Amino acid sequence: MERNYSKPTSSKMLDRMRMNPALTWLSDMVKILTTNAIKIPKDYRGQVLEVKKLLDSDISGMVNSVLDFSIDASLVDYQVNAKNKNLTKKLNLWLDNINLELRGSVPVGVQALAKEYFRERWKGSSFLLLRTFWEEKDGFYIPTIMYFIDGEDIIVTNKNNTRNLNGKSYRLRISNTESKPIGLGKNEKLFIQRPYSPWGVEYSIPFLIQRGIYKNLKFLELLEEKGEFVVGKALEYLLLFKKGSEGLTLSNNPDFIYSEEDLTKVKTDFSKFIADRKMIGGASVYATNFDTELEHVIPEYARALKQELYSPIEKRIMAGLGLVDIVQGLTSTRRESVLNPKPLFSEIKTGIKDFKMLLVDIMSTIAEENSDSHRKYFRQDIKISSSVVKEELTDKMITQYRSAHDRGAVSKRTYNDILGLDLDIEIERIVEEKKFEEELYPPVIQNQEQTPNEDITNKNEKKEAPLENEDVPEDKKSIEKKNFNQSDTFGEPEDPRKEFEQAPYTKDKYPSQLKALPSGARNIWINTFNSVFKETNNEDNARMAAWRNVKLKYKKSGDKWIRKEKAELEQAMKELDIDDLIQIKELEILGKKSKLLDKLLENKNN
């Protein structure tokens, strides 16, 4: 007898799979395991669009959260520092008013611009192209409107088919078929950064792709989708209906050996019973032989949902974000590495440095554009400073900053920035609260002070009247008169400034460091010091004014002081601000008044 071993057709295989749930389950698992590989787009625009699409629905619930945290942590305070105080004030005011003309459409200020910078750096293309539009403002030529272009809309072309670093032109994509050139306007300048790509390339590599986060996130997305598919299929179960047994079949009893027709009839009867049960109420009764067995079979889908499949991917994503220490020894304890991951904060601080470099480039361009009209302002270097990253601070670091502040190594402004306070506002409040010292004096619950605050607690006490009728000897009416009444001065320290007011410096009595000065410079120093000290009663201010007045007319050549030439003196006067000129004029007037008083006193004594 000839047998047919031909392969079954595909339609017959599908019919068998439909009849057998086990084959359906096997087919589903094959589909899961034969999914196409994850591919990263080769073109720059495709990469950027894929990155943004992936972040629109973050399947991990982690990448967007960490990147948003990084962006918020990078929004530190930025400040311009120049040697000229007026220039410092003007440039910091400019930082606060960036995009003021677009107020209502976009946020105003350097922090809003920094937020766009870090968003495009970490969650976008990492191709940072800043468009700036310049105009005359308060006598300075500065950029008033600045914004970053969406990376996917940037088109780069080489000028004259060259590969020079500075030989590129840029266009802005308007639609799929249209684009327009940018950076060619008279009042427009472009500033570009590609932090994750070499200098010579035309386009940058997005941060998420460069760190491997994109591919792992896509893999995790694939597992999540297939897991949902598996869970959906797990709701389908197999109802196994058994008739007969192995022992009865071996007994060759025809009553207990069932043909395919018998099994089909049993299946039909049971299905009819289930259908009738849904239509008819009452108790459910089904009668069958003793060799019938009913069993529910759920396919094994748990292997596709095991946590072991997800853990390595999540760990790789965390490493790409910088949440896992990649070098042993960066942190002292496991707790510190979790709460203060060094790779993450290293990337944040690198981003802040790059943004400061961008601001320095803009400041250098401002200096070049204004060097002719404001030479005295822009002949010195301009620096950009930023406050610390507050999210990185630990209790130990804050204690170290406090210790450095107490030793004078850290300024009060820096310490207030660490605490999240504005020093200018705190100074205003302290000065304002001085008026309410008496009202704000704490009530004495348990006096632990050796002596209470005399200025406040004893303010309302009746003071004794001075002894006007008491005979005071003539020799006690001089500086010794305060020692005549010992009850008033016992234990009171001497104030050297009070004694100094009655004994100012003279041509014969002056500090030893003035011996190196010529007589003319020494006289200027002594007259200026005495005049300013008499008006302000502040020795530091008097010394500062005295040396400033000397250096205006004299200069140090080697170990000697010599008088400046007329041309040098005129140039020094031109470089001074109006406030400095007014102050010098006041010092000259004070000096003349001092000389006049000396002559009057001398004539009176004669």
End-to-end CA distance of the chain: 158
When comparing pLDDT for 103 and 374, which is higher?
103
Contact assessment for residue 401 and residue 410, using Cβ atoms and an 8 Å cutoff:
yes
Contact assessment for residue 321 and residue 211, using Cβ atoms and an 8 Å cutoff:
yes
Q: Which residues contact 99 (CB under 8 A, 6 or more apart)?
A: 106, 107, 108, 109, 112, 113, 144, 145, 146, 147
pLDDT the model gives residue 550: 84
Pick from 88-97, 433-442, 583-592: least confident: 583-592
* Cα–Cα distance measured from residue 453 to residue 447, given in angstroms and rounded to the nearest whole number: 11
Task: Assign a CATH topology to domain 511-605.
Answer: Rna Polymerase Sigma Factor; Chain: A (1.10.1740)
Q: Which residues contact 474 (CB under 8 A, 6 or more apart)?
A: none
When comparing pLDDT for 132 and 475, which is higher?
132
pLDDT the model gives residue 277: 65
Q: From the CA atom positions of the chain, what is the Rg in Å?
A: 43
* Cα–Cα distance measured from residue 163 to residue 145, given in angstroms and rounded to the nearest whole number: 31
- List, as one string, the DSSP characters of 513-567: GGGGS-HHHHHHHHHHHHHHHHHH--HHHHHHHHHHHHHHHEEEETTEEEEPPHH
Sequence-ordered alpha helix ranges (H) in 330-420: 334-339, 342-370, 395-406, 412-418
Pick from 135-139, 342-346, 563-567: least confident: 563-567
Average pLDDT of span 115-143: 91
Contact assessment for residue 304 and residue 229, using Cβ atoms and an 8 Å cutoff:
no
508-530 b/e (C-beta count within 10 Å ≥ 16 → b): eebeeebeebeeebbbbbbbbbb
Which tokens belong to 265? 């009839």
pLDDT the model gives residue 118: 94
Please check the confidence at residue 296 and state whether its pLDDT lies above 50. Answer: yes
* Cα–Cα distance measured from residue 205 to residue 195, given in angstroms and rounded to the nearest whole number: 9
pLDDT the model gives residue 339: 62
**DSSP symbol at 139:** T
Please check the confidence at residue 28 and state whether its pLDDT lies above 90. Answer: no
Which of 81-95, 243-257, 430-444, 466-480 shows the highest mean pLDDT?
81-95
Which tokens belong to 526? 């002594």
- At 219, the pLDDT band (50, 70, 90 cuts) reads confident
- At 586, the pLDDT band (50, 70, 90 cuts) reads low
Nearest to 71 by CA among 111, 107, 38, 109: 111
Nearest to 304 by CA among 32, 597, 106, 541: 32
CB atoms within 10 A of CB 57: 8
Let me know the angle formed at the C-alpha of 67 by 63 and 71, rounded to the nearest 5 degrees: 170
Determine the 3-state secondary structure of 274 from DSSP: helix
Please check the confidence at residue 60 and state whether its pLDDT lies above 60. Answer: yes
* Cα–Cα distance measured from residue 417 to residue 221, given in angstroms and rounded to the nearest whole number: 42
Nearest to 523 by CA among 459, 582, 594, 468: 594
* Cα–Cα distance measured from residue 302 to residue 305, given in angstroms and rounded to the nearest whole number: 5
Phi first, then psi: give them for residue 147, nearest 5 degrees: -160, 155
pLDDT in tens, 5-27: 444 455 555 554 454 555 565 56
Contact assessment for residue 575 and residue 581, using Cβ atoms and an 8 Å cutoff:
no
Please check the confidence at residue 317 and state whether its pLDDT lies above 70. Answer: yes
Nearest to 293 by CA among 266, 261, 271: 266
CB atoms within 10 A of CB 255: 10
- At 399, the pLDDT band (50, 70, 90 cuts) reads confident
pLDDT the model gives residue 412: 86
Q: Which residues contact 173 (CB under 8 A, 6 or more apart)?
A: 152, 153, 154, 155, 179
When comparing pLDDT for 485 and 208, which is higher?
208
* Cα–Cα distance measured from residue 98 to residue 78, given in angstroms and rounded to the nearest whole number: 13
Please check the confidence at residue 536 and state whether its pLDDT lies above 90. Answer: no
When comparing pLDDT for 38 and 52, which is higher?
52
pLDDT the model gives residue 459: 46
Domain boundaries, the chain: 44-211+343-386, 403-455, 511-605
pLDDT in tens, 167-209: 788 889 988 888 898 888 889 999 999 999 888 788 888 999 9
* CA distance readout (Å), 252 to 257, 258, 259, 260, 395: 7, 11, 13, 17, 86
- List, as one string, the DSSP characters of 467-494: -SSS---GGGSSGGGGGTSHHHHTTPPP
When comparing pLDDT for 486 and 376, which is higher?
376
- At 307, the pLDDT band (50, 70, 90 cuts) reads low
Nearest to 189 by CA among 13, 415, 430, 358: 358
* 170, containing H or E segment: strand 168-173
Beta bridge mates, 190 = 131
* Cα–Cα distance measured from residue 28 to residue 26, given in angstroms and rounded to the nearest whole number: 5
* Cα–Cα distance measured from residue 118 to residue 123, given in angstroms and rounded to the nearest whole number: 8
Contact assessment for residue 240 and residue 270, using Cβ atoms and an 8 Å cutoff:
no
* Size (the chain), residues: 606
Which tokens belong to 15? 């019919």
Pick from 77-86, 154-163, 249-258: least confident: 249-258
Which tokens belong to 398? 């804050």
* CA distance readout (Å), 254 to 119, 243, 257, 268: 79, 13, 5, 21
